[in-house]
Amino acid sequence: MALDADYLIDRRRLKRRLSFWRGLGILAVLLAGLAAFGRFSDIGGGDYIARHAVQGLIVEDVRRNRALAGIAEDDNARALIVRIDSPGGTVVGGESLYRSLRAVADRKPVVAVLGGLATSAGYMAAIGADRVVARRSTITGSIGVVMHTTEISGLLDKLGIGAETIRSGPLKAMPSGFEKLTDDGREVLQELIADSHRMFLDLVAERRGLEGAGLARVADGRVLTGRQAMDADLIDAIGGETDAVAWLEAEKGVAAGLPVRDVGEADRFARLLDRAASLGERTIFSERLTLDGLVSVWHAGLR
């Protein structure tokens, strides 16, 4: 009888434990469902204004382009606010983001709200919007293109290290860190920079209605405050997101009081990984080396 009693007690304890873990599992599923509902409730949940954040260095981003294309196709998204806080990035990245924003603007109004820094490729992207808003102290402009190269042939000579390059033509693999840049190589690279610069200026001229002296005034790569950019016709208004929403309601017929929802943001874990990775890219040297292709980026230490 004692054995039977112990057996029954053990069975009851096991059932209680199983009930506890089963209940905990059900609770976890419910919480996950609520979290998913909260995350994806923007889809099909009535009209809203989409908000998309662009931060850090701008490069070609297929996921971002896909997210913006989704906003363009979403009939519930009545407008898009793109918040830009970026020193720039690759020319291709800036051009790609510009084109994606223009594609959205073909379907619905787009406003760019510039944060503390929106320069170079960041400004290139901003002019893809129908309206550009910035704070008085926003640093913007820096309309230009740059290519960095590091040449260490002198250091190699001192270390007694020789480097030889076998190439198909005199301009192949120019610039190279293992030899001095030739006059012909420098000329070709300057032409490359100039052509990309002309592309950038053409976009500014088209989108901002600038030409002649007005365009030349901002074509030398200088940075400007928001107030200076306003005077130079590079932005449309001084303000922030509230002003962007007010303009959409007053000028574009967007219904008053619509919620503003983040769309296309990386999840929290991905953002943490990005921030951790960026800790290793804080020096000028590493920023120069981690961007492939031509660069349209502003950094105070690079000027």
Domain ranges across the chain: 45-146+211-302
Say how far apart CA 226 and CA 165 lie, in whole Å. Answer: 48
* Cβ atoms of residues 137 and 286 within 8 Å: no
Structure tokens at 285: 């040297």
- pLDDT at 298 > cutoff 70: no
Q: In Å, how far from its chain's centre is CA 293?
A: 17
Fold of 45-146+211-302: 2-enoyl-CoA Hydratase; Chain A, domain 1 (3.90.226)
Enumerate the active-site residues: 120, 172
Q: In Å, how far from its chain's centre is CA 138?
A: 17
* Cβ atoms of residues 98 and 125 within 8 Å: yes
The strand ranges marked E within the chain are 48-55, 77-86, 88-90, 110-119, 131-134, 139-141, 223-225, 237-238, 260-262, 295-297
Q: For 203-224, write each residue's pLDDT tens digit.
A: 999 999 999 999 999 999 999 9
Closest CA to 271 of 51, 56, 92, 124: 56
Q: For 270-292, write each residue's pLDDT tens digit.
A: 444 454 444 444 333 344 434 44
From the number of C-beta atoms within 10 Å of its C-beta (0-12, 13-18, 19+), residue 162 rates as: exposed
Above pLDDT 70, what percent of the chain? Answer: 72
How many CA atoms lie within 13 Å of 113's alpha carbon, on the beta-carbon side? Answer: 18
Say how far apart CA 235 and CA 131 lie, in whole Å. Answer: 7
What's the pTM?
0.74
The mean pLDDT of 6-26, rounded to a whole number, is 65
